[in-house]
């Protein structure tokens, strides 16, 4: 298999011969990893469960973890899932990579479509599935919203959306997602929405919608051809717990569950115990959202940007993303991620992705440096 280098590897190569300005503390705004301590109650649940390391974890996951995830979906999206409509996973990166391989195995010449720019695991899954790729190009002109023609959709076996979107921070409404569900039924392809940023939003009255809600809204109450994936990593600042789920069409998930028993990606029991506690609690998520909200308020004040409605990313338009990245690192010791590393066919060029995952004090200091650089 011939995989592309990961964006962070490309970044290291881009910057390897540059000596950064050591008058400033090194600052990395590149990776979507919250830089906050995982809440103590989650850590305590993990500590109390270490004796369970002696047990092999079941691929199906602990019943209490699955129940917590189903409860989360009910509380957050008002969607009631049956037990067979949700599969616990080892985060979402695992399932985003192996679900397409499982789904497309029996297809002679499979085709995957996914948003572009993108989280690179989508492309990796396409390569591993020997699938032809149709890029769903996200541009400023289409407001970074996914759209394909019927002619293109007729060719698709699997479509992967990602809303709220990484890297552009764009959203799609429930109605817009519902139109995609209709197309999935009309052209009989499986539609996945990667919803791992669904809980990083800043207006309680305008929470991001789930594809599950949209499916019900258009009458597809059994979620035929519809799958969502979500994770605790961003929600609870606990990426190390590796706790995620796949939910939706039970006919697909029944076979996928059997497939996963062979994959061997079961999460250790102590991690599952801690994750169940985290999925069941909401107040700590509110606190993290407030931090991100303050960070974007600072970004608006310093950079003059319009804060997104969800995610913790700024998709900053620049003249040349590679030169901007190199010079920013050289002059201000700040790392950002060039948009061209996240896209294909020119998508992402002229943008850099900035992850606001630090505390308020660090965010203010780094963004002031960034502003000084921009003003030149």
The pLDDT confidence band at residue 64, using thresholds 50, 70 and 90, is: very high
Question: Which of 281, 314, 339 is the endpoint of a domain?
Answer: 281
Cis peptide before 135 (omega within 30 of 0): no
For the chain, the average pLDDT equals: 96
Same domain, yes or no: 154 and 212: yes
Q: Which residue in 364, 337, 371 sits closest to 166, CA to CA?
A: 337
Same domain, yes or no: 99 and 80: yes
Same domain, yes or no: 228 and 105: yes
Between CA 239 and CA 135 the distance in angstroms is: 28
Same domain, yes or no: 277 and 345: no
Q: Is residue 202 part of a domain?
A: yes
Q: Kindly tell me if the per-residue pLDDT of 34 is higher than 90.
A: no
Q: Domain of 307: which CATH number?
A: 3.90.1150.10
Domain membership of residue 324 as a residue range:
7-37+284-375
Report the pLDDT averaged over residues 302-317. Answer: 97
| DSSP symbols for 231-261 | ESTTTTT-GGG-EEEEEE-HHHHHHHHHHHH
User: What pLDDT, in 10s, does the model give residues 196-213?
Assistant: 999 999 999 899 999 999
Q: What does each C-alpha distance from 141 to 138, 234, 303 come to in angstroms? A: 8, 29, 22
What pLDDT was estimated at residue 248? 98
Between CA 296 and CA 169 the distance in angstroms is: 12
Report the pLDDT averaged over residues 17-45. Answer: 94
Q: Domain of 186: which CATH number?
A: 3.40.640.10
Q: Is residue 346 part of a domain?
A: yes
What pLDDT was estimated at residue 175? 98
Q: Is residue 1 part of a domain?
A: no
Q: Is residue 252 part of a domain?
A: yes
SS3 101: helix
Report the pLDDT averaged over residues 14-26. Answer: 96
Same domain, yes or no: 31 and 111: no
Q: Is residue 42 part of a domain?
A: no
What pLDDT was estimated at residue 55? 93
Same domain, yes or no: 361 and 257: no
Report phi then psi at 43, rounded to 5: -60, -40
Q: Is residue 47 part of a domain?
A: no
Q: Kindly tell me if the per-residue pLDDT of 264 is higher than 90.
A: no
Question: Which of 281, 303, 332 is the endpoint of a domain?
Answer: 281
Number of domains in the chain: 2
Q: Kindly tell me if the per-residue pLDDT of 122 is higher than 90.
A: yes
Q: What is the pTM of this model?
A: 0.96
Same domain, yes or no: 265 and 315: no
Range of weakest confidence among 29-33, 245-249, 338-342: 29-33
What pLDDT was estimated at residue 376? 84
Report the pLDDT averaged over residues 163-168. Answer: 98
Between CA 339 and CA 346 the distance in angstroms is: 9
SS3 315: strand
What pLDDT was estimated at residue 1? 79
Same domain, yes or no: 258 and 343: no
Report the pLDDT averaged over residues 44-68. Answer: 95
Between CA 68 and CA 271 the distance in angstroms is: 14
């Amino acid at each position: 298999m011939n995989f592309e280098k990961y964006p962070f590897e490309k970044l290291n190569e881009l910057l390897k011969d540059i000596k950064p300005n050591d008058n400033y503390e090194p600052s990395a705004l590149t990776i979507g990893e919250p830089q906050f301590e995982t809440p103590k109650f989650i850590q305590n649940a993990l500590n109390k469960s270490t004796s369970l390391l002696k047990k092999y974890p079941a691929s199906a996951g602990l019943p209490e973890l699955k129940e917590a995830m189903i409860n989360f979906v009910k509380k957050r999206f008002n969607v009631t899932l049956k037990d067979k409509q949700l599969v616990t996973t080892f985060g979402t990166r695992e399932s985003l990579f192996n679900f397409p391989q499982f789904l497309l195995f029996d297809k002679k010449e499979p085709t995957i479509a996914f948003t572009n720019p993108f989280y690179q695991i989508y492309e990796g899954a396409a390569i591993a599935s020997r699938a032809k790729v149709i890029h769903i190009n996200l541009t400023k002109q289409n407001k970074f919203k996914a759209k394909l023609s019927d002619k293109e959709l007729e060719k698709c076996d699997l479509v992967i959306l990602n809303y709220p979107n990484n890297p552009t921070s764009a959203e799609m409404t429930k109605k817009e997602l519902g139109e995609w569900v209709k197309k999935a039924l009309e052209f009989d392809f499986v539609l996945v929405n990667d919803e791992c940023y669904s809980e990083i939003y800043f207006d309680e009255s305008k929470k991001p919608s789930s594809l599950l809600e949209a499916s019900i809204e258009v009458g597809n109450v059994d979620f035929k051809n519809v799958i969502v994936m979500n994770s605790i990593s961003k929600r609870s600042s606990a990426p190390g717990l590796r706790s995620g789920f796949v939910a939706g069409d039970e006919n697909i998930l029944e076979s996928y569950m059997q497939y996963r028993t062979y994959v061997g990606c079961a999460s250790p029991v102590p991690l599952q115990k801690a994750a169940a506690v985290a999925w069941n609690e909401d107040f700590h998520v509110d606190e993290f959202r407030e931090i991100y909200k303050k960070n974007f308020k600072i970004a608006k004040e310093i950079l003059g940007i319009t804060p997104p409605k969800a995610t913790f990313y700024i998709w900053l338009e620049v003249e040349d993303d590679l030169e901007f990245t190199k010079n920013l690192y050289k002059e201000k010791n700040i790392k950002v991620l060039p948009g061209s590393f996240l896209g294909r066919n020119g998508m992402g060029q002229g943008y850099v992705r900035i992850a606001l995952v630090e505390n308020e004090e660090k965010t203010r200091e780094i963004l002031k440096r960034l502003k000084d650089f921009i003003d030149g």
